[in-house]
Structure 1
């Protein structure tokens, strides 16, 4: 077992006072292991957990509660050479279970992005279709956030059940935020389909598209449709190596994920 003296003061404090996500993140960082290596080593111990789930635990967007997840947590304590029960003591009482939405929020249930790439290999447009569910009354605004490439700013246009109320540019964080106002606020528990698009200027740009999902989306689909097939197309993800994608007969590649969160994208080379 790793001695207390071998652990940083910050990690010791987090293991004592929490919160759990920060303690887990710090312990994995100090181990020097990637999330994929953590997953692999747990699998060798007979414990199954996905990289996205570990990422969700680290971010605090999800917590281990089921019996299988708690076994994984105990395995993490052993793998990271921490005292037994270190993580479990930070979890506190379980949260109420169920599929109710957070009160006072619009939640993306599913999202479909289609990126169009022109015959010069440039990203020309992204068409987005989002299914939103209301967790309260009077909810009519949905912020759309984009990570900007240097010198390239898209124009956001509303296509279905919404209008663009305002656009803000955060140059320090290289981010654009467009505020979409729904045509009609859905009743609590009801859903609405929103469609919009981002149009990009016809100028040289990085040959990739990345969507940042700040909250988990139950079903996420990203398509890239090419006017001219690239020499190489690769799936991009927060954790784990890239994976080469093969286009279908229509010149399209895609990435589909369940409970998706974080940065998900596709890059290509002409």
Structure 2
């Protein structure tokens, strides 16, 4: 947690080090102002920017939005007594957004069209992802953790539709929640399709091309029936997708394999358990599916 105290100002070293956050950190350190003092000075000039936002700007956790924050950055230049343009010229231009090659979840999973699986035009793109799955000694999937790197397709991008499978009629649905950078809202279930649908909502909207990392978790009920496979769906091409399965150390599987399906073709890989877990990674992959299967 940032306490609002001044950071130590250090000159950026090396080629390409003069990033906005590095220049801001140096300027703050030289002036000896705390983030609270900066926030108050900005407030006096009509700029409502919190200390947490200033902290993210200083550390590089997030940059200012050029359209809405450029005047505030110019005011910061005056407060910090640096030349005009010293900070504003270092603001990064928006990242390039690639073409929309998204395929709806229902299409990739070969499900019939329905209102439940209908998706709006995506405003967030998955650029890469990792899934961790925890399987107990009775072959029940108890927990999944999804980490995803998202990119905004337009300014103000904030929502993405996600799905969870293996929702059985006689078993309580999993508890799903965001654990990093997002919340899961508008959760609903279709018993016939055995699917759970939710909207992943970022804690803050993105600019076009901006990136953010999120994490979400699914906790399965204790009465969950045994399963022997889990499928990860990639609705669009991603730089990498990693699937990691962690088994109960007291009961590792006898055999594991990965089935990869994309572009009308399939490939199978044998997976060797290491330390009671297996992993498979695909690079420059999607749209498609990765299914990890195991037997005892």
- TM-score normalised per structure 2: 0.54
Question: Runs in 1 of length 4+ with deviation above 4 angstroms?
Answer: 101-104
Provide the C-alpha distance between the structure 2 equivalents of 1:101 and 1:133, rounded to a whole number of angstroms: 12
| Contact 1:146–1:212 (8 Å) recurs in 2 | no
1:206 to 218, 224, 227: 227
Write out aligned runs for 1:26-105 (5 A): 100=98, 102=100, 105=123
| Contact 2:183–2:200 (8 Å) recurs in 1 | yes
| Contact 1:146–1:211 (8 Å) recurs in 2 | no
Write out aligned runs for 1:176-191 (5 A): 176-191=196-211
2:140 to 122, 128, 134: 122
Write out aligned runs for 1:1-270 (5 A): 100=98, 102=100, 105-151=123-169, 153-202=173-222, 203-227=224-248, 228-238=251-261, 239-248=265-274, 250-258=275-283, 259-270=285-296
1:170 CA displacement? 2.5
1:257 CA displacement? 0.5
| Contact 2:133–2:145 (8 Å) recurs in 1 | yes
- TM-score normalised per structure 1: 0.59
1:241 CA displacement? 4.8
Provide the C-alpha distance between the structure 1 equivalents of 2:122 and 2:247, rounded to a whole number of angstroms: 39
Provide the C-alpha distance between the structure 1 equivalents of 2:190 and 2:197, rounded to a whole number of angstroms: 8
Provide the C-alpha distance between the structure 2 equivalents of 1:194 and 1:133, rounded to a whole number of angstroms: 11
Aligned CA-pair RMSD: 2.1
Q: Which stretches in structure 2 are left out of the alignment for 5+ residues?
A: 1-95, 101-120
Q: Give 3-state SS (helix, strand or coil) of 2:235's partner.
A: strand
**Aligned residue-pair number:** 172
Task: Summarize the Cα distance change of 1:240–1:150 in structure 2 as closer, same or farther, 3 Å threshold.
Answer: same
| Contact 1:105–1:135 (8 Å) recurs in 2 | yes
1:251 CA displacement? 1.7
Deviation sequence 1:130-178 (CA, Å, 0-9, x none): 0000010111112211222544532211100111212122334332111
Q: Which stretches in structure 1 are left out of the alignment for 5+ residues?
A: 1-97
Compare the two structures and name the one with the higher helix fraction. Answer: 1
| Contact 1:118–1:226 (8 Å) recurs in 2 | yes
Provide the C-alpha distance between the structure 1 equivalents of 2:122 and 2:141, rounded to a whole number of angstroms: 35
